[in-house]
Amino acid sequence: MPELPEVETIKNELVPYLVGHQISGVTLYWAGMVRQPSVEEFCSRLVGQGILGLKRRGKYLIFSLTGREALIMHLKMSGSLLVKPASAQPEKYVRAILHLDNGVAVHFRDPRKFGVMWLVDDASSVTSKLGPEPLESGFTPQVLAERLDNRSAPIKALLCDQSVIAGIGNMYADETLFAAKIHPLRLGKSLSREEIERLHRAIRRILRAAIDDKGASVEDYFRPNGGLGTAHFQFQVAHRLSGESCPVHGTPIERIVVRNRGTYFCPKCQPPVV
């Protein structure tokens, strides 16, 4: 699923097409993706509104609108937003289209149909439970230490918990734990100060590098122009097959399941819980 670097890339690449333009129409092929308000109200209220800005919070995209409300999208498992000319016919799996007054149409493609949209007065009604943004300057090792303090869940699960830190999911959790040499089953509260500092550095370095590479094109992630990202070429353990070798010293990578998430790690680089 798209995580922070993928959603950030989508946001960056949509801005030039969207901001300053007006929504001239909405086509919905799958009404189930509108969470709030009713489908009829969602469509009628959107039409005619200008897009003032687009930002990302965690894995959410937030469009601020001239009518003092916010359109929020979450791509969930398999969503992507594709920029097309107004005349483009929807391809398979396109669940919604936003038509703009500049001749651009944004196609919400979502094979698995988990994507969600909201139209709300206040974006924080949807995003208020999110933890800190890991790339903002306020996210210090001390903040990470406080988020993990007294937590008796495995660190892998805590990294994927959006209320602990916003934006990290399965892929980047595996990559950051490998880079920080921390076993995914270590409990949050068991991490030393030095380990927390290593993890903090790894989170920021890996997320930034993945944004530079325009996200990881595994599964259904496409950039708005239909192109792919290349971040997955840097992956050391995530999405590797178990039995493939650790790039550091050739030990076979192992796969375990942590709270229902397939988790890849190197048993030598990431020593087990003792």
Point out which residues bind Zn ion (CB under 5 A). Answer: 246, 248, 251, 266, 268-269
For the question of residue 129 being annotated catalytic, the response is no
In sequence order, the 6+-apart residues with CB closer than 8 A to the CB of 119 are: 36, 37, 41, 42, 45, 46, 69, 70, 71, 72
Residue 186 is a catalytic residue:
no
Q: What do you get for the CA distance between the two ends of the chain, in Å?
A: 32
51-57 vs 116-120, strand pairing mode: unpaired
Known catalytic membership, residue 2: yes
Q: Residue for token digits 């869940």?
A: 153
Is the CB of 160 or the CB of 237 nearer to Zn ion?
Answer: 237
Q: Which is nearer to Zn ion, 34 or 179 (CB)?
A: 179
Structure tokens at 78: 């398999």
Active-site entry in 11, 57, 59, 84: 59
- Whether 59 is a known active-site residue: answer yes
Catalytic residue among 3, 8, 69, 254: 3
From 151, 261, 267, 268, the catalytic residue: 261
Residue among 39 and 248 whose Cβ is closer to Zn ion: 248
Task: Give the shortest CB-201-to-Zn ion separation in angstroms.
Answer: 18
Phi–psi pair at 197, nearest 5 degrees: -65, -40
Q: Would you give the DSSP letter of residue 37? A: S
CB of 270 to Zn ion, least distance (A): 7
Give yes or no for a contact between 13 and 223, defined as CB atoms under 8 angstroms apart.
yes
CB of 258 vs Zn ion, minimal distance in Å:
18
The label of the residue with tokens 């016919």 reads 89
Closest separation in Å from C-beta 180 to Zn ion? 13
Choice between 185 and 269, CB closer to Zn ion: 269
Query: What are the backbone angles phi and psi of residue 110, rounded to the nearest 5°?
Result: -160, 85
List active site positions: 2-3, 59, 261
